[in-house]
Amino acid sequence: MGDNYMHTEGRVAALAEGALMAALTVVLVLTGYFIPLFQVFTNIIWTVPIVVLIVRRSLRLGVMATLVAGLAIAFFTGPVNAALLFIQFAALGLVYGYLFKVKARPGQVLAAGAVVALFSLLLSLGVTSKLTGLPLGGLLQEFEATVNYTLEFYRRTGMLEHMGKSGMTPEQFQAALTTMINLLKLLLPGILISASILAAFVNYLAAEKILQRLGLIERGLPPFRYWQLPWYAIWGVIAGLGLWQLGDYYGLAFARQAGVNILYVYLPLLVGNGLAAVSFLFYQLKLAPFLKAVLVIIALLNVPVALVSLVTLGLFDPFFSYRRRINTAGKGE
């Protein structure tokens, strides 16, 4: 009888905690909904209570709390808004909660989060397309129509005439807008993938920080200076360059677009890897803060050169693994 009482008491406590986390999720979502200024912030952290609940209790309870929160939010915002919001972010919170609970490695958690975030974003776009009746291809047509809208707006406001005085003709301005829209159309897949990676990364950082504060996890991401892409990441860059050149040589638009988008997705990753390598060098060399500030200022004054240097360093750093070798040599001493 005592065991049954303890079991019942434990279930009641778990349900109470689930209800509390669901209520906290609702408060965070509604804060962003009714105060748009906070929406970017709340979209990042509203899944954290669900992640905490799963790590503390179970995935089953996390799913229940998510459904309850979704129903409550639908009551205040309408079913369409609630559905779109939860399609885009709920799965990420559930996957992160489960992976944190089973103590998966940070790299595995981030990789799974990026895939889930991309799938959720595409599903959200698909649902939006069905609800609005506008096919996804219509989004590209809207990009093209933007050129004419912008040109007409500039003409009506007199800004086009002002540009003419500075040497830019309406035809040149239209050509520049068309080039920009075409570039946006070309890079749209890469933009979506990069946005998904960024969403997964920021959500991970928020969840990890809260879980560490609560003492629910011990291991997290290492210091920034030790962040490093795996050595086989270089094959992605090779594939991107190969597809790009193949598409240009044989006139294959799909291959060219695939190659360019692969390189676009890799670009911020390589820059980040290069920055981590530079941070490691600063740490190893024990540079004075003043000297670090001078080097940063020089880099900011020469942004193109700095970016090319970071991309190059970020590309070859995983392959040669010099940071690992320096660490190993230091420990050997």
Q: What is the 3-state secondary structure (H, E, C) of 79-123?
A: HHHHHHHHHHHHHHHHHHHHHHHCCCCHHHHHHHHHHHHHHHHHH
pLDDT, position 219? 77
Given 168, 200, 221, the domain boundary residue is: 221
pLDDT, position 285? 83
In the chain, the number of structural domains is 2
- The parent domain of residue 34 ranges over 1-133+188-221
- Answer yes or no: is 328 within a domain: yes
- Answer yes or no: is 150 within a domain: no
Given 178, 202, 221, the domain boundary residue is: 221
CATH code for the domain in which residue 35 is found? 1.10.1760
Judgement on whether residues 92 and 229 belong to the same structural domain of the protein? no
Judgement on whether residues 111 and 239 belong to the same structural domain of the protein? no
Judgement on whether residues 119 and 263 belong to the same structural domain of the protein? no
Q: Which residue has the tokens 């520049």?
A: 176
| Each residue's pLDDT expressed in tens, for the chain with a length of 333 residues | 445 545 566 677 888 888 888 889 889 888 888 888 888 888 778 889 999 999 998 999 999 999 999 899 898 888 888 888 888 889 999 999 999 999 998 888 999 999 999 999 888 888 877 776 666 655 666 666 666 677 677 677 766 666 666 666 667 767 777 787 778 888 888 988 998 899 899 999 999 999 999 888 887 788 888 888 888 888 999 999 999 999 998 889 899 999 999 999 999 999 999 999 999 988 888 878 888 888 889 988 998 899 999 999 998 888 777 777 666 555 544
- Answer yes or no: is 266 within a domain: yes
Read off the pTM: 0.83
Judgement on whether residues 126 and 231 belong to the same structural domain of the protein? no
Judgement on whether residues 120 and 235 belong to the same structural domain of the protein? no
Taking Cα atoms as reference points, which of 110, 98, 11 lies closest to residue 63?
98
Judgement on whether residues 248 and 314 belong to the same structural domain of the protein? yes
**What is the rounded distance in angstroms from the CA atom of residue 277 to the CA atom of residue 141?**
42
- Answer yes or no: is 125 within a domain: yes
Q: Give the largest CA-CA distance in the chain.
A: 90
Judgement on whether residues 207 and 81 belong to the same structural domain of the protein? yes
Judgement on whether residues 70 and 202 belong to the same structural domain of the protein? yes
Judgement on whether residues 318 and 203 belong to the same structural domain of the protein? no
